Structure 1
Amino acid sequence: MLSPMDDYPIHQIAEPVRHVATSDRNFYDRYYFNCYPTDNNDTFLIVGLGQYPNLGVMDGFAVLRHGDHHIVARMSKALGADRTDTTVGPLRIEVLEGLQKLRVVLEPSSEYDLSFDITFDATIPAALEPKHFRRQLERVTFDTSRFLQTGTWSGHLTVDGEEISIDPDTWRGNRDRSWGVRPVGEAEPPGRRAVDGIQNFFWIYSVMQFDEFTISVIMQEDEQGRRIVEEAMRIWPEEGRDPEWLGRPEHDLIFCPATRDVTGATLTFHRPSGEVLTVDCELLLANHIGIGTGYGLEQDWRHGMWQGELVVQGLRHKVHEFEPMQRMFSPVDNLSKFHLTEGDQTFDGTGLFEVAAIGPHERYGFTSFIDMAPERETDNTEERL
């Protein structure tokens, strides 16, 4: 079946645009946005929308961390033939100017206590990240591409009846577009994987927005600390200026005792010259994107899962009531401050520190999927969770 996109010279395979190159059920194509104020640390909004062509599903979510409140709006519908349709019930994304300006709207609903009409305006060129590839047995489990941008936000957000003005002078965020193969939809029978075991997922993804530039960091490691994907690049706002490789990134995470909650981190970039750049990461507010949005292990709502022709739901929790086991099986997006030391210069920025320590990881002493961080002599970071 044809769609309006077939009138453009953009085909990559000998099929209409609505057919992707692989029939793998796990193919996806997704938007991600986050939005936060720089003048307080109690609000962190994350929005996502994805299409799953081989599952026939499109879904989206918005999750707001507002003080101690975890507010989720989520929606799912049958995917039609037109891939330019980026509306799922009350949620829609409008590309106003490709790779520069996008509008994100969540209409009010009785299902949830949240709505917004906000526009992202990029402050750096879109930067393509390295391919993310991983196998288990012979099955490709990850084969994805992604690009990122940082920028400012304008518009308004309403929560619990209170309207908040979003001013581009004080509201920032980053967005990405990713597509390819990653686990989505209903769980598949594990087959031999049940004998070989589930792969760990140790992951750090940080996007740091400074006034002068943006730094993007990616690290995924297996149980022994071997790198599956890594990147550390500085992206300049000037068009035509190539991103700068910062060298091999290393991490030092601080865990809250008896949990796997990361409460602080130091990242270092080891340049070929021997110079070391250091970033102290101050984690301010955790948005548990795995709870209620589709990123987690909830059996009733996962990205790409068939829910029906159109379903819209809302959820609300108190963050302090989340159990450690509930928090530990998905990435957590932390609103953060960053303090970069480069030679005799220092820079202060804000942004995203996304982290997951799921399953075994020798460096931090995790030997299974359920053991927790050991007790420390002192720790005063639990309030940031």
Structure 2
Amino acid sequence: MTLSPLDDYPVHQIAETIRHVGTSDRNFYDRYYFNCHAGVDGGTEPLFLIIGLGQYPNLGVCDGFAVLRRGDDHIVFRASRALGDDRMDLSVGPLRIEIIEGLHRLRVVLDPSPEAPDLSFDLTFESDGPANLEARHFHRQLERVTFDTQRFVQTGTWSGSLTVDGDVIPVTPETWRGNRDRSWGVRPVGEAEPPGRKADPSIAGSQNFFWIYSIMQFGDFTVVTVVQEDQQGRRILEDATRVWADRSREPEWLGRPDHQLTFISGTREVKSGTLYFRRPGAPGESDHILEITCEPILPNYIGVGTGYGLEQDWRHGMWQGELVVQGLREKVSDIEPWKKMLCPVDNLARFTLVGDGVTRTGTGLFEVAVIGPHQRYGFTGIGDVAP
């Protein structure tokens, strides 16, 4: 048992040092996610940067990534190191996170490095509203808990600079927005485990992952939506909340979220989408209905090169060595179609909200994954695509 500086703070949850978490499950993780974007409203080329850093206490690994979508460029930085004793060390190679003011201001820095010379940044996130604690995500599959996680999300603005191919791009809060989240708990990470019973053909063919995660910024409020369904459309997880920028106002439950997606022919990429929110009204009244149309502007294939499971030699939590830093780059048009199908796509999107006699426009994240069979949209197997 080893002490760390964090043990000096009154934050213990179990009779262990902070280095050790309350479960021995190899898949326990503790992660930061950020996105940063500009150009949704036209006038400039859209840019969409996503950053992540995670610790995996039971695997002894800390890793991080940054992935930028710009035009046809898919630029990736990734790094991995031994976790060590100090859980407050939020760095991996040239990437680091600094908490300036908890739940409000954070700085994210990627210093220039010879291994990944195409991308660097020094960015500060400042929230424009409170952090929102989402519904707990729990899922058991074939007797085993595969997801037991908690997450909060927060929107805000960015300032600082982004350097791409040696060109320095000023980042100002007037035009650069985004969201960040913190999640922790149990989810599949690291090297693939033996499939066991899941390899049975009668089971393997029915595996699916249908997921919508959207963070929509409308100025004085943000709409947070989460939907996960099995292949028949039964809900595993759902959440729909309006978070007001005015921190004195309580978050508003929007009711049951539903969806209508259209897909680009020959793919499973979303062409457009509509989200509906229905909340029971008073007796004799119709349901309260809020409607948001979703227009993807720039997809970021977050699973390609970053560790989300597509590449067998680099997965989140996978042991790479004491410190490894790498840079990758490819054209989006050259990414294999199967990779685009088998991971969530983080779409930078424009939103139009209609409800209560008011129409509002906003921007933000429209993350979608439709992997495996899903009856509603006519996908019967993992290789099916839209007509």
Q: TM-score range by the shorter chain?
A: over 0.9
Partner of 1:327: helix, strand, or coil?
helix
Instruction: Return the letter of the residue paired with 2:313.
Output: D
Partner of 1:192: helix, strand, or coil?
helix
Partner of 2:196: helix, strand, or coil?
coil
Query: In structure 2, which of residues 303, 313, 316 is the aligned counterpart of residue 303 of structure 1?
Result: 316
Q: How many aligned positions are there?
A: 374
Task: Tell me which residue corresponds to 1:383.
Answer: none
Report if aligned partners of 2:213, 2:367 keep a CA contact under 8 Å in 1: yes
List structure 1 runs of 4+ shifted beyond 3 angstroms: 38-41
Taking the TM superposition and a 5 Å limit, the aligned residue runs for 1:127-206 are 127-195=132-200, 196-197=203-204, 199-206=207-214
Separation in 1 of the partners of 2:336 and 2:10?
51
Deviation for aligned residue 1:296? 3.3
Report if aligned partners of 1:41, 1:284 keep a CA contact under 8 Å in 2: no
Report if aligned partners of 1:50, 1:58 keep a CA contact under 8 Å in 2: yes
Separation in 2 of the partners of 1:41 and 1:241?
36
Separation in 1 of the partners of 2:219 and 2:384?
40
Report if aligned partners of 1:123, 1:150 keep a CA contact under 8 Å in 2: yes
In the superposition, the TM-score normalised over structure 1's length comes to 0.96
Say if 2:30 is the partner of 1:29: yes
Report if aligned partners of 1:216, 1:234 keep a CA contact under 8 Å in 2: yes
Task: Tell me which residue corresponds to 2:291.
Answer: 278
Deviation for aligned residue 1:240? 3.4
RMSD, aligned CA: 1.0
Task: Tell me which residue corresponds to 2:376.
Answer: 363
Deviation for aligned residue 1:41? 4.9
Instruction: Return the letter of the residue paired with 1:329.
Output: L
Taking the TM superposition and a 5 Å limit, the aligned residue runs for 1:197-276 are 197=204, 199-273=207-281, 274-276=287-289
Separation in 2 of the partners of 1:63 and 1:362?
32
Say if 2:89 is the partner of 1:85: yes
Instruction: Return the letter of the residue paired with 1:245.
Output: W
Deviation for aligned residue 1:137? 1.3
Report if aligned partners of 1:128, 1:146 keep a CA contact under 8 Å in 2: yes
Separation in 1 of the partners of 2:331 and 2:247?
43
Separation in 1 of the partners of 2:12 and 2:300?
38
Say if 2:321 is the partner of 1:313: no
Separation in 1 of the partners of 2:357 and 2:194?
55
Report if aligned partners of 2:220, 2:246 keep a CA contact under 8 Å in 1: no
Report if aligned partners of 2:372, 2:381 keep a CA contact under 8 Å in 1: yes
What's the CA shift string for 1:137-164, capped at 9, x where partnerless? 1110000000000000000000011100
Partner of 1:6: helix, strand, or coil?
helix
Moved more, 317-326 or 94-103: 317-326
- Uncovered stretches (5+) of structure 2, i.e. residues with no partner: 282-286
Separation in 2 of the partners of 1:169 and 1:296?
35
Deviation for aligned residue 1:297? 1.7
Instruction: Return the letter of the residue paired with 1:327.
Output: K
In the superposition, the TM-score normalised over structure 2's length comes to 0.95
Query: In structure 1, which of residues 322, 325, 338 is the aligned counterpart of residue 351 of structure 2?
Result: 338
- Uncovered stretches (5+) of structure 1, i.e. residues with no partner: 375-385
Q: Among all aligned residue pairs of Structure 1 and Structure 2, give the percentage whose two residues are the same amino acid.
A: 68
Task: Tell me which residue corresponds to 2:106.
Answer: 102
Query: In structure 1, which of residues 305, 322, 330 is the aligned counterpart of residue 335 of structure 2?
Result: 322
Report if aligned partners of 2:120, 2:162 keep a CA contact under 8 Å in 1: yes
Separation in 2 of the partners of 1:262 and 1:306?
34
